[in-house]
Chain A
């Protein structure tokens, strides 16, 4: 049984919007009471519509944003109160890959300099060793060694993402957050990068938190998937089970909306009406009640809690009054 690497307990990210003497402070509830755990070598997918808090959650876990409540445990250690200095050494273990590599790679540095930087920050090796490590990294992500002396703009989108991945794995981390890491890529290149992530994961026993709006991509790369709606996890189970038998009405609608690449399977889909409500003035009770096709009187009063479905041999958590 692999160890639990990361545990998130009741994590919240409430962003204060206005604060004046005359009005009551209002908050944007970006992430609200989220709990989950992640094992070594495992991928947790995060799905949900834009604005549901996927990226904010990821950033809070890495402490790129200070969480407003809750705990983050890494290898059993509570890192919620860690100072910036303490976090530096922890960053070796936790990395992130962004959607647009051009935004996260310094255009004025060569790829070699970009990839050496992590070793410099952590004062590892001498110049010769570092150069060797960078060469190894480039080969590992499928780039030629000559790439070292080029600048990011000389590469295609897929190759840039490979550089981003090389930098993320440089210090042999345990956890990598992939925030829409393949979303900007073309289909054929997206497949190359997903293949790379899968083989690196196997090789290095990486735990991945994989955020993407493309549900087929998430299904393909994840062991477990959490569905988020308006800052809360509404369903969490294995990828296979979620896509075969989603139980939350929101997950059902989300999965039914995926276009299937087979014209013979054109279906009368369950089209979800309306938009996600604002995370500032959230509806009382279940946040999904206003769009839910199976809404009951109770839903508008009491918010359901995320809890395990009873008498199951595997994990399946859901926050819905329909299933008790």
Chain B
């Protein structure tokens, strides 16, 4: 082997290592099942994606599609004893985190990977001041700080998330704050330890559009500052277009489409993604016209179609779709110009769907 060739091989392996390092979190073929009275049901089936540093990944889909269960699996918060990871793996910085011991889990959760929720009122403790709750994060993860330093850090954090007069607000209770303000406190708590990954589960769904705009702006600013990765869970395609670099579209526990935001909105290729986009009322479309809705409802998990999980609502469905499961595969949409990003879609009939 020539010296030059050897060097090349070394470079290549360095490259893959770099890429692995860049992907701070990888979810690989994750399968989660819930134990029910009538046997186990597959809540997640073959969910794969990865998140890079400084990037925002959107998880989109309707209720019951598995967005929140995916987040709970990453956080190690699956409902016990019913929820189990039955297949696949979750890798944080290259190391599996599905089978961590409790102390290892505590060291990770809230410290390296944090989460914020839709309704801050249910996530914040109503009988403690926000200052005390925020200080608790430091108490758990930075025991070296004394009480005074904790308070100072907490106030600095409140200031950072745009809460005016943080010294006064430090002593307030959650009910004394507005919804937008509470969400800011949640964000302050989640970001107190400067995590690598922030999982945001519908963080703006309960807020008014004006407050939503404030919170989205804040999240974007904080991401630019800290370089954290964000996993943004939402059902709102507008928010996805606004916030996300990469998008994972989920339906009934499957990833049906995965690509960058530009490709997704320019050429949605899975029939479900297309259906979602068409059923969304648009500001630039004429009023009072019938929308193209997806017929039917998401089937309950125990009554899931055997093959493609979308087959019973899909207009392109054939006997093949009912019998066997399509894989998530690379696809190049002919309607799309020059994008070279990877575009993964789970469908047997992509040619028919996208030439129609």
Interfacial residues, chain A to chain B (CB-CB below 8 A): 43, 49-50, 156, 158-159, 186-192, 194-195, 198-199, 213, 215-217, 219-223, 239-240, 243, 253-254, 256-266, 269, 271-273, 275
21 A-B Cβ contacts within 8 A?
A49-B210, A50-B208, A186-B298, A188-B275, A191-B292, A192-B279, A192-B293, A195-B291, A195-B293, A215-B209, A215-B283, A219-B283, A220-B287, A240-B287, A259-B236, A259-B242, A260-B238, A263-B242, A266-B242, A269-B217, A275-B180
Judging by beta carbons under 8 Å apart, are A219 and B281 in contact? yes
Complex: A199 Cα to B295 Cα, angstroms: 16
Q: A219-B287, A259-B216, A263-B242 are in contact. List 13 more A-B contacts (CB 8 A).
A: A50-B179, A187-B237, A188-B62, A189-B293, A189-B297, A191-B278, A191-B294, A198-B288, A216-B283, A220-B289, A259-B212, A271-B213, A271-B217
Contacts of B295 in A (CB 8 A): 192
User: Nearest 4 A-B pairs (CB), nearest first?
Assistant: A259-B238, A191-B279, A220-B281, A191-B293
Judging by beta carbons under 8 Å apart, are B213 and A187 in contact? no
- Contact A275 B181, CB 8 Å, known A186-B235, A188-B276, A191-B291: yes
Complex: A264 Cα to B262 Cα, angstroms: 7
Complex: A167 Cα to B53 Cα, angstroms: 52
B42 within 8 A of A: no
Most-contacted residue by chain A among B63, B180, B293 (CB, 10 A): B293
Contacts of B244 in A (CB 8 A): 263
B211 within 8 A of A: yes
Complex: A219 Cα to B283 Cα, angstroms: 7
Judging by beta carbons under 8 Å apart, are A257 and B290 in contact? no
- Contact A273 B214, CB 8 Å, known A221-B287, A222-B287: yes
B60 → chain A closest CB, angstroms: 10
Complex: A239 Cα to B285 Cα, angstroms: 12
Complex: A186 Cα to B64 Cα, angstroms: 10
Interfacial residues, chain B to chain A (CB-CB below 8 A): 62-63, 178-181, 208-214, 216-217, 235-242, 244, 261-262, 265, 275-283, 285, 287-295, 297-298
Contacts of B213 in A (CB 8 A): 256-257, 259, 269, 271-272
Most-contacted residue by chain B among A50, A198, A263 (CB, 10 A): A263
Contacts of A49 in B (CB 8 A): 208-211
A32 → chain B closest CB, angstroms: 20
- Contact A188 B281, CB 8 Å, known A213-B208, A275-B180: no
User: Which of A187, A264, A265, A272 is close to B279, meaning CB atoms less than 8 Å apart?
Assistant: A187
Complex: A192 Cα to B290 Cα, angstroms: 9
Judging by beta carbons under 8 Å apart, are A262 and B265 in contact? yes
Complex: A90 Cα to B164 Cα, angstroms: 50
- Contact A216 B280, CB 8 Å, known A263-B265, A271-B213, A271-B214: yes
Contacts of B236 in A (CB 8 A): 259
Complex: A214 Cα to B95 Cα, angstroms: 42
Complex: A51 Cα to B213 Cα, angstroms: 18
Complex: A257 Cα to B213 Cα, angstroms: 6
Contacts of B181 in A (CB 8 A): 275
Complex: A199 Cα to B334 Cα, angstroms: 36
Most-contacted residue by chain A among B241, B262, B291 (CB, 10 A): B291
Contacts of B179 in A (CB 8 A): 50
B259 → chain A closest CB, angstroms: 12
Contacts of A219 in B (CB 8 A): 281, 283, 287
Contacts of B241 in A (CB 8 A): 259-263, 265-266
B67 → chain A closest CB, angstroms: 12
Judging by beta carbons under 8 Å apart, are B217 and A257 in contact? no
Judging by beta carbons under 8 Å apart, are B280 and A187 in contact? yes
Residue of A nearest to B234 (CB): A259
Residue of B nearest to A256 (CB): B213
Complex: A213 Cα to B181 Cα, angstroms: 19
Judging by beta carbons under 8 Å apart, are A261 and B62 in contact? no
B322 → chain A closest CB, angstroms: 20
A88 → chain B closest CB, angstroms: 33
Complex: A195 Cα to B295 Cα, angstroms: 12
Judging by beta carbons under 8 Å apart, are B287 and A195 in contact? no
A226 → chain B closest CB, angstroms: 15
Judging by beta carbons under 8 Å apart, are B285 and A220 in contact? yes
Contacts of A222 in B (CB 8 A): 287-288
